[in-house]
Amino acid sequence: MDVFERKQEILKMLHRDGRVYVNELSRLFGISDVTIRMDLSDLESKGLLSRVHGGAVSCYKTYYNMSMQERLSVNQEQKKNISEAIVGMIRENDVIMLNAGTTTLTAFRMIPAHLNVSIVTNSMAIALEAGANPNFTVVLLGGQVNFKYQFTYGDDAIAQLQKYHADKLILSVDGISADAGMTTYYNREVEIDRTMLSHAKTKIIAADSTKLGRIAFAKISDARQIDYVITTDDPEQAEEIGKLKKTVPNVITV
């Protein structure tokens, strides 16, 4: 395998898993850690990934150029495990708020169809799928529409959202840090997320391990406003998970 082919394989693994590790790549390709680090540095210089301690994670520039279906396939197993833990917290007759995101969409899809729940969301994808179930009462917030990422936003959406209160909020974020709080790439959705936080009894953050320690474009709120962080167990993120446990009442790794 030549250098080009090796780098393409690394990108495929990154697209599938969301994160790669230097020591694992070294064993897989039978080359030194130094060579792998050179490969990762070159890919980072092209904007194809972001270097982190011990490896690399998906680059936001690449990720947010993907379609909804492409993004659903990234970190798919982590999203599934996180969603299973969240859905285990949902009860009959709950009012649930969900913002737009592939993790919240995955969580919604795992809610048992027999449950009677009310769903308030700015996600067009969630609302369209939820509307097909007669057991679900669905409120899609009106307002301006982002067609590419299928969510609503703006003053009209926020005004409507302020009419509702939820038992549980499931919030998908692009970055979460004990120091920097919760952040998102979509600055137009920030006020929606903040309003959801202020109108929910139990606030649950769904974030796979690649989001831990990240700081995205726009800040949503401090981490201390959260009740639960549901994330995936990752030894490389032990320090950040430890910091979050000192700030957030419940940090659950799956």
- Residue 217: pLDDT band (50, 70, 90) is confident
Are 162 and 54 in a shared domain? Answer: no
- Residue 62: pLDDT band (50, 70, 90) is low
CA-based torsion, 16, 19, 22, 27: positive or negative: negative
Predicted confidence (pLDDT) per residue in 75-112, tens digit: 678 899 999 999 999 999 999 999 998 899 999 999 99
Are 29 and 48 in a shared domain? Answer: yes
Question: What percent of the chain has a predicted confidence (pLDDT) above 70?
Answer: 93
Q: What is the DSSP string of 176-224?
A: EETTTEEEES-GGGHHHHHHHHHTEEEEEEE--GGGBT---SEEEE-GG
Predicted confidence (pLDDT) per residue in 145-165, tens digit: 988 888 999 999 999 999 999
Are 42 and 155 in a shared domain? Answer: no
Residue 247 has pLDDT above 90, yes or no: yes
Are 126 and 204 in a shared domain? Answer: yes
Are 13 and 108 in a shared domain? Answer: no
Predicted confidence (pLDDT) per residue in 23-34, tens digit: 999 999 999 999
Are 50 and 14 in a shared domain? Answer: yes
**Between residues 65 and 125, which one has the greater pLDDT?**
125
Are 23 and 83 in a shared domain? Answer: no
Domain coverage including residue 97:
68-253
User: Pairing mode, if any, of strands 117-121 and 144-146?
Assistant: unpaired
Q: What is the mean pLDDT of the chain?
A: 90
Structure tokens at 69: 């279906």
**CATH number of the domain that residue 223 is part of:** 3.40.50.1360
Residue 61 has pLDDT above 70, yes or no: no
According to the model, what pLDDT value does residue 246 have?
Answer: 96
According to the model, what pLDDT value does residue 15 have?
Answer: 72
Q: What are phi and psi of 152, to 5 degrees?
A: -105, 155
How far lies 187's CA from each of 126, 154, 218, in Å?
20, 11, 5
Residue 47 has pLDDT above 60, yes or no: yes
Are 249 and 202 in a shared domain? Answer: yes
Average pLDDT over residues 54-80: 68
- Residue 215: pLDDT band (50, 70, 90) is confident
What predicted TM-score, i.e. pTM, was given to this entire model?
A: 0.76
**CATH number of the domain that residue 34 is part of:** 1.10.10.10
- Residue 250: pLDDT band (50, 70, 90) is very high
According to the model, what pLDDT value does residue 243 have?
Answer: 95
